Amino acid sequence: MLPIPSQDFSFPDPKTKDPAKRRIQRMFEVIPGLLTWITLLGMVVFSFFLPVWAAIAVILFDIYWIHKALYISLFSVVGQRAVVEAKRINWWERCQNSAHPEQYRDILEERIRHLRESLRTIPFFALRKRRIIQREIKHVRTLLAETLALIPIKEQILDWRDIIHVVLLPTAGEPAEIIEPALRSLEENNFPKEQMIILLATEEREDPATRLPKVEYLQKKFAGVFRDFIVTTHIVADGEMKCKASNAGFAARELMKYLDERDIDYKRVIFSNFDCDSVAHPEYFAALTYQYIIDPKRLQRAYQPLPMYHNNLWDTNAFVRLVVTGSSFWHLYQSTRREMVTFSSHSEPFDTLVKVGFWPVNMISEDSVIYWKCLTYFHGDYRVQPIHLPLSLDAVLADTYWKTLKNQYKQKRRWAYGIENFPVTMRAIWPDKLIGLRTKLRVTFEMLEGHYSWATTSFILTFLGWLPLLLGGSDFRESVIAHNLPFITKMLMTVGMIGLFISIPMSLLSLPPRPKRYHWSRTFLMLFQWILMPIVGFISAIPALDSQTRIMLGKYFGEFWVTEKMRKN
User: Tens-digit pLDDT profile for the chain (569 aa)?
Assistant: 344 445 578 899 999 999 999 999 999 999 999 999 999 999 999 988 888 898 888 888 888 888 888 888 889 999 999 999 999 999 999 999 998 999 999 999 999 999 898 888 888 788 888 888 888 898 899 999 999 999 999 999 999 999 999 999 999 888 999 999 999 999 999 999 999 999 999 999 999 999 999 999 999 999 999 999 999 999 988 888 888 999 999 999 999 999 999 999 999 999 999 999 999 999 999 999 999 999 999 999 999 999 999 998 898 888 898 898 888 888 999 999 988 999 989 999 999 999 999 999 999 888 899 999 999 999 999 999 999 999 999 999 988 889 999 999 999 999 999 999 999 999 999 999 999 999 999 999 999 999 999 999 888 888 887 888 888 888 788 888 877 777 777 776 676 667 777 777 888 878 888 888 888 888 877 888 888 887 888 888 999 999 999 999 999 998 777 777 777 76
Instruction: Give CA torsion, residues 132, 138, 139, 141, to 10 deg.
Output: 140
Distances (CA, A) of 180 to 202, 211, 222, 223, 396: 15, 14, 9, 13, 18
Paired residues of 409 in beta bridges? none
Angstrom distances, CA of residue 378 to CA of 363, 365, 369, 374, 428: 21, 21, 14, 6, 12
12 HSE (CA, 13 A, CB side): 26
The pLDDT of residue 130: 86
Contact 341, 318 (CB under 8 A): no
Q: Helix or strand or coil: residue 433?
A: coil
Is the CB of residue 300 less than 8 Å from the CB of residue 315?
A: no
Residues 6+ apart with CB under 8 A from 562: 172, 173, 174
Task: Determine which helix (DSSP H) or strand (DSSP E) holds 279, and give its type and residue range.
Answer: strand 279-280
Cα 441 → chain centroid? 22
Nearest to 308 by CA among 288, 322, 329: 329
What's the pLDDT score for residue 3?
43
Cα(404)–Cα(113) distance, integer angstroms: 56
Q: Please give the pLDDT value at position 569.
A: 63
- Domain residue spans in the chain? 100-156
What is the model's pTM?
A: 0.91
- Give Dmax (Cα) for the chain: 80
The total number of residues shown for the chain amounts to 569
Compute the distance between CA of residue 149 and CA of residue 145 in angstroms, rounded to an integer: 6
Q: What is the pLDDT of residue 5?
A: 46
Q: Please state, in angstroms and rounded to a whole number, the distance separating the CA atoms of residues 69 and 75.
A: 10
- Do 392 and 310 touch, CB atoms closer than 8 A? yes
* Three-class HEC string of 512-523: CCCCCCCCCCHH
Alpha carbon distances (Å) from 39 to 55, 445, 468: 14, 17, 14
Q: Are 354 and 257 in contact (CB under 8 A)?
A: no
pLDDT of residue 533: 80
Q: At what angle do helices 101-121 and 127-150 cross, to 10 degrees?
A: 170
> Which DSSP category does 298 fall into?
G
